[in-house]
Structure 1
Amino acid sequence: MLRPRRRGIASVNAEARDGIVPAAGSLARVEDAGPQVSRANYRFVALIVASALFMEFVDATVLATALPTMARDFGVRPQEMSVALTSYLLALAIFIPASGMLADRFGSRTIFRAAIALFVVGSLACGQAPTLEFMVAARFLQGMGGAMMIPVGRLVLLRSVAKRDIVDAMSWLLVPALIGPILGPPLGGFIVTYLDWRWIFYINLPMGALGIWLVSRYIENIREDDPARFDTAGFILSGVSLGCLLFGFEMVSRPGEGWAAAVLVAVGILAGALYVRHALTKDRKGAAAILDLGLLRDETFRLSVVAGSITRITQGAQPFLLPLMLQVGLGFSAARSGTITVATAIGSLAMKSMAPRLLRRFGFRRALVWNGVIATFGYAVCGLIGPAWPNWAIFCWLGLSGFFMSFQFTAYNTIAYAGIDQRHMSSATAFYSTFQQLMLSFGICVGALALHLAIGLNGRTAPALGDFSAAFWVVTAISLTATIWNLRFAPDAGTEISGHSTAGGTQAKAA
């Protein structure tokens, strides 16, 4: 059991519970036990939150398609553009931990709306970037806004639904968010081929304005009666640790910067150790740390964090490696590459309607074990893609890979909160989102490092097709080890959410 925190008692705005009503001027608080019955408007709330995710995912997938063109304009090698992706994810890893405490103190609508505005300002700065260094700084600003959008939006949704509706709610949340990756690659290819890559960032401006209006109109300002005091020391230690680790790993892939990378990694490890000591001290005193390690006492949450983090190494590397392999390794145009890579998002979208039924049929443990192996194998086969593969074969295989990998993360993202009560939900979403983005960033670093090593071992100065194959196999081999942790889930884990019944499940729960 998790140790109770000193949090406020809540009541729910009755009008918002009955339907879709304007949230302006309202201030909602939630009971620790959470809703026993889902609010009538939870699907609409999910779609509003997803509109912000739509903007964020369009931006990410469009950018991946444009990396080779941007590298030429900035006068750098294509693999060096990984820092433009890493800097964004770095900001997510640093500032996501603060999202839960800020939402508890100022209200979810206030923080969510400010996050969208900050993301839009960062997008405008990216569009004006004259150099790679300026782009890195602008992407970091974008990431500061994105850091608040994902966990705070997820927190709003989780506090609107009963546990038996979480899978359905998550599916509604991800539908518009998955349309972004579907539109992103072909849109990016079109912009890069026929316009200017800077329009990739300018399209965020109208989408951001619409998101701000929807949040102001319909999202309740959920907060705690007695929010925990902001953990300044924990924020600094966790930020230094995560920042140094990510940039240290990213610099490993750059020639001549080995010593600087080693120093950053060492500082990151030291700061991380100090944070663990700091968090454990606060936990013993019954106070809330910015990343609450006490959440790891819950077995399903702990296993979802560990196994999901390992699997996300592949998921983080794939959007970086795949467009580069198609354009640099196979000589595809940006438009052709974008048209093919959209298959991954289409496969992900096709899976969403099937996730509740599959989890009800197989349960979380069996689904995570077997689907994890299949999904990892799917991305490993991407390393075999070559000139002999017709476009339709690449498209179909990427669609299948996206289908299975998306199911894996739907299961991880859902079962993580099976044993978390509402009192700890804000800290749980911040904790989980931090490790989610950290490992996506780490995946980019591992992919870039594997690509760099393959280039060096083969005595080349520029990447060839075989180098991309080696990089794919390295990241998928690492992710395959998540099977060890998936096997540790209890057979009846998450049955309240999935509706799956297991023989002896009642006895296991009683034990």
Structure 2
Amino acid sequence: MPPAATAAAAPPERLSPQTRRTAWIVSSIFFVEQLDATSVASALPAMAADLGSDTVTLSATITAYLLGLTILIPLSGRLAERHGDKRVFAGAIWLFLASSIACGFAPNAFVLIALRFVQGMAGALMAPVGRLIVLRTAAKHELVEAMALVILLAMIAPMVGPFLGGLLTTYVGWRWIFWINVPLCLGALWLVRRFLPATEGRGGGAFDLRGTLLSGIGFACLMWGLMALAEAQVRTGPAVAALAAGALLVAAYVRHARRTAEPVLALDLLTLRSFRDAMAGGSVFRIAVGGVPFLLPVTLQQRDGYSPLEAGLVVLIPAMGGFAMKFFSGRILRRTGYRRGLFLHGALAAGCLAAAGWVPPREVMVAYAATLFGFGWARSLQMNAYGTLAYADVARPRLAAATSFFLAIQNLTVAMGVAVAALLLQGGAAAGTADAAYSWAYLVLGAVALASAAMTLAMPPTAGRDLLQTKR
């Protein structure tokens, strides 16, 4: 009997109480971080007026956060190994709490931007180390459901964040966007101290300072260059220079890692077939879908004439599809296996994404909503499947290294997706075919998503089999 059929024949076992509790706690902390990250944008005009700046300048608060997030992720796994994952996780929450309080008291735009960079560094430790704690707690057969639970609340935050940011800014002031993190972080710290399992750090060992600098600054340059390309008001010269510098630094890191016994990012993980397949297919898929949160509201407002509020409501539809999938992803993967499940849902995501650019929402809203819901549904399974397949053959002592590597590339490819979507629109506008450029942008991104689905056909039929077994 094929492995997928064997896995499907037995009913999936529920998560153990310890794994379920750990996943919920980490998910709640991810919710706090994502809530803060997504609520700032709606407050930028009020921030600019209060601080004597302008909205364009204050948009750097978002860029600074992402740069802080990018530059420290490569180091997160090594810090968890040296000092213990629970200790580093709690320290990251304390840093997020302190920087949030400071952001609320920022006297000018420069200080606020600097503090947002620090806040991003805290987030860079919270995300990978929180995920690492769940990976170390869950048995292999629990991993699919556990990781789906981990990102469940983080998917709700982008729906709530912009509304909450606007509400707080209107009634109590923009500074409360940051101060509201105080009770949330204190509650999270109590949960971490009371319930999360601890893994002792191994103390000494070589610290790869050169590799940390090369990878961190290199990824930050690539991230800034990609974000700059996505902004029409930024000249392409600095963006291209940043991308070139980032590529050179990353190339220097690759050369350094091959000559170092314990590099900060372990490139030898790519010798594992499952990790390599997840990184390759997942990266192409994230390039395809990473720009959709940017592309969708822009299309609805600039091409279809929707108001910001109407566009915001429509943007919730793929989020609802993704939220619904979280309750079914484990059962679907056990029935189909990784290879077939990734191919089918990759093709579904590609078809829905391509169709979303051509179905007129005002004329056939039901069909348009169905394409967005289907896209969100398929995207959610792909993200969960790639995010768990990466760990299928990783030994427990190497989970920290794998998590840092995976999340560093994940952030970069999502930013690449935003840049590709923006460049497609800018190219259409420059050619004088702005309206048609929206439809063609969706079609191109759908083709990239389909390419990622085709890549999964090269996976062995047994890919991720151990993750889909139920405990006997």
Regarding TM over 0.5, the answer is: yes
Aligned position for 2:432:
458
2:319 is the alignment partner of 1:345: yes
Q: CA deviation at 1:380?
A: 2.9
**Cα 1:137/1:399, change in 2 over 3 Å:** farther
Amino acid at match of 1:483: A
Q: In structure 1, which of residues 440, 443, 450 is the aligned counterpart of residue 414 of structure 2? A: 440
Query: Structure 1 residues 385 and 72, CA, compared in 2 at 3 Å: closer, same or farther?
Result: farther
Q: 1:181 to 1:450 in 2, by over 3 A?
A: same
How many residues end up aligned between the 2 structures? 454
Q: Tell whether 2:130 aligns with 1:153.
A: yes
The aligned amino acid for 1:412 is: Y
Give the 3 Å change call, closer, same or farther, for CA 232–38 of structure 1 in structure 2.
farther
Residues 118 and 382 (structure 1 numbering): CA distance in 2 closer, same or farther, change over 3 Å? farther
Conserved in 2, the CA contact under 8 Å of 1:182 and 1:343? no
1:489 aligned to which of 459, 463, 471: 459
Correspondence list, 1:365-376, <5 A: 365-376=339-350
Aligned to 1:478: 448
Aligned residue number for residue 238 of structure 1:
215
Measured at CA, do residues 94 and 351 of structure 1 come closer, stay the same or move farther in structure 2, by a change above 3 Å? same
State which of 468, 477, 499 in structure 1 corresponds to 2:469.
499
Residue range with higher mean Cα deviation, 185-194 or 288-297: 185-194
CA shift digits 1:321-375 (9 cap, x unpaired): 2233334444444443333322222211211121111111110001111211211
Among 28, 40, 49, the alignment partner of 1:51 is: 28
Q: Is the 8 A contact 1:94 1:239 kept in 2?
A: yes
CA distance, structure 1, for counterparts of residue 364 and residue 187 of structure 2: 40
The TM-score with structure 1 as length reference comes to 0.79
Given the alignment of the two structures, is residue 118 of structure 1 paired with residue 92 of structure 2, yes or no? Answer: no
Q: Distance in 1 between matches of 2:435 and 2:101?
A: 35
Equivalent residue in structure 2 for 1:229, among 206, 217, 228:
206
What is the rounded CA distance, in whole Å, between the counterparts of 2:411 and 2:127 in structure 1?
10
- What secondary structure is seen at the aligned counterpart in 2 of 1:493? coil
Q: Which string of whole-angstrom CA distances, capped at 9 and with x for unpartnered residues, describes residues 6-65 of structure 1?
A: xxxxxxxxxxxxxxxxxxxxxxxxxxxxxxx98641110111111111112223444566
Whether the aligned pair in 1 keeps the contact of 2:289 and 2:449 (CA below 8 Å) is no
Q: Which amino acid aligns with 1:367?
A: G
Kept in 2, the 8 Å contact 1:190–1:335? The answer is no
Could you list the per-position Cα deviations for residues 90-137 of structure 1 after superposition, in whole angstroms to 9, with x for gaps in the alignment? 322221111111111111122112212333344455556788766654
Equivalence for 1:313: 287
* Secondary structure in 2 matching 1:143: helix
Structure 2 residue 182 is matched with structure 1 residue 212 = no
- Call closer, same or farther: CA 1:493–1:96 in 2, change over 3 Å: same
Q: Is the 8 A contact 2:141 2:469 kept in 1?
A: yes
- What CA deviation, in whole Å up to 9, does each residue of 1:176-201 have, x standing for no partner? 33332343354456557777665544
**Where does residue 270 of structure 1 map in the other structure?**
248
* Matching residue of 2:237: 259
Amino acid at match of 1:42: T
- Which residue is equivalent to 2:180? 203
Q: Report if the CA contact (8 A) 2:71-2:216 is conserved.
A: yes
SS of the residue 2:151 aligns to: helix
Q: What is aligned with 1:356? A: 330
Q: Measured at CA, do residues 296 and 254 of structure 1 come closer, stay the same or move farther in structure 2, by a change above 3 Å?
A: same
Q: How far, CA to CA, are the matches of 1:166 and 1:256 in structure 2?
A: 42
Report the equivalent of 2:405: 431
Unaligned segments of structure 2, at least 5 residues? 1-13
TM-score (norm 2): 0.85
Cα-to-partner distance string for 1:475-495 (whole Å, 9 max, x where unaligned)? 443343223431221111111
Q: Equivalent residues in 2 for 1:66-77 (5 A)?
A: 75=54
Counterparts of residues 371-450 of structure 1 (less than 5 Å)? 371-384=345-358, 386=360, 388-389=362-363, 394-450=368-424
Deviations 1:421-474 (A, max 9, x none): 111111111111111111122222223333333333328xxxx65554444444
CA displacement at 1:297 relative to structure 2: 0.5
Q: Secondary structure at the match of 1:223?
A: coil
The one-letter amino acid of 2:181's match is N
SS at structure 2 position matched to 1:409: helix
SS in 2 for 1:142: helix
In 2, Cα distance between equivalents of 1:392 and 1:205: 42
Q: Kindly indicate whether the alpha-carbon contact (under 8 Å) linking 1:48 and 1:215 is maintained by their aligned counterparts in 2.
A: yes
For residue 9 of structure 2, what is the aligned residue in structure 1?
none
Q: Residues 125 and 486 of structure 1: is their aligned pair in 2 closer, same or farther, counting only changes over 3 Å?
A: farther
Question: In structure 2, the residue corresponding to 1:41 is in which secondary structure?
Answer: helix
| C-alpha deviation, 1:319, in angstroms | 1.9
The 2-side partners of 1:297 and 1:257 are apart by: 39
The one-letter amino acid paired with 1:497 is: L
The alpha-carbon distance between structure 1 residues 41 and 484, as it changes in their structure 2 partners (threshold 3 A), is same
Code of the residue aligned with 1:415 in structure 2: it is L
467 and 365 in structure 1: CA distance in 2 versus 1, 3 angstrom threshold: same
SS in 2 for 1:414: helix
5+ residue gaps, structure 1, are: 1-36, 501-511
CA distance in 2, matches of 1:495, 1:385: 38
Q: Which whole-Å CA distance do the structure 2 matches of 1:128 and 1:326 have between them? A: 36
3-state SS of paired residue (1:430):
helix
Contact 2:359 2:367 in 1 (8 A): no
Quote how far apart the aligned CAs of 1:151 are: 1.0
The structure-2 alpha-carbon separation of the partners of 1:174 and 1:268, relative to structure 1 and needing over 3 Å to count, comes to: closer
Q: Percent identity?
A: 39
